[in-house]
Amino acid sequence: MNTVAIIDYGASNLRSVCKALEHVAEGSQKIIVSDQAERILAADRVVFPGQGAIGQCMGSLVDKGLDAVLRECIINKPFLGICMGLQTLMRESDEDGGVSGLNIIPGKVVKFADAARDENGDVYKIPHMGWNNVSQTQAHPLWKGIADQERFYFVHSFYVEPELQADIAASTDYVVDFTSAVARDNLFAVQFHPEKSQRAGLQLLQNFLSW
């Protein structure tokens, strides 16, 4: 039986991601949550979810030796990043006074502008929290069965700015037209939370398990 490893670096939403994956796997794949390098490296697929601040996230990854593990997994097996699991892939982040990321995807993480206003003059609320449309910018197996402009659930104050257009798999309009998914080789990562996005989110997770 194939194994899917969820990276445990101390994030608070691991259980919801685990339950969602168990639901779509229907017993066909074993879902584990682990911070042990050998278990993660032995898994067939890897999911890196997370929420919170990138400084704490990267510090925990380095302390546990999981930064090197993640780099190896991203090269060798299907990898899904969720929220913080997307942002840490960038070279650097403006959050927490400036933090170096894994530097897998060229680009940086920046904060939404404060006090930005929409076309009606209303101030955008930060963090960006709630449902929003995702515009698919490239075809990908993880979009199978998911309509373009489908709505997914977001919770974030920072967003990624990849340097290469080829790495962008989707965008979303909030304050700016920001990148909400990236894809490269066997890596796919999203800013939204599929585990909180009902049917479309479960479809994306199911697509990952069969990718």
Q: Which residues are catalytic?
A: 83, 193, 195
How far is the C-alpha of 20 from the C-alpha of 57, rounded, in Å? Answer: 22
- Asked if residues 127 and 87 have their Cβ atoms less than 8 Å apart, the reply is no
Going by C-beta distance under 8 Å and a sequence separation of 6 or more, which residues neighbour residue 20? 194, 195, 201, 202, 205
Helix residue ranges per DSSP H, 43-187: 54-64, 66-76, 84-87
Distance between CA atoms of residues 14 and 210, nearest Å? 21
Outline where the chain has alpha helix (H).
14-25, 37-42, 54-64, 66-76, 84-87, 198-210
Burial of 188 (0-12, 13-18, 19+ CB in 10 A): buried
* Closest C-alpha among 188, 178, 182, 187 to residue 167: 182
List the structure tokens of 42. Answer: 């032995």
Radius of gyration in angstroms for the set of CA atoms belonging to the chain, rounded to a whole number: 16
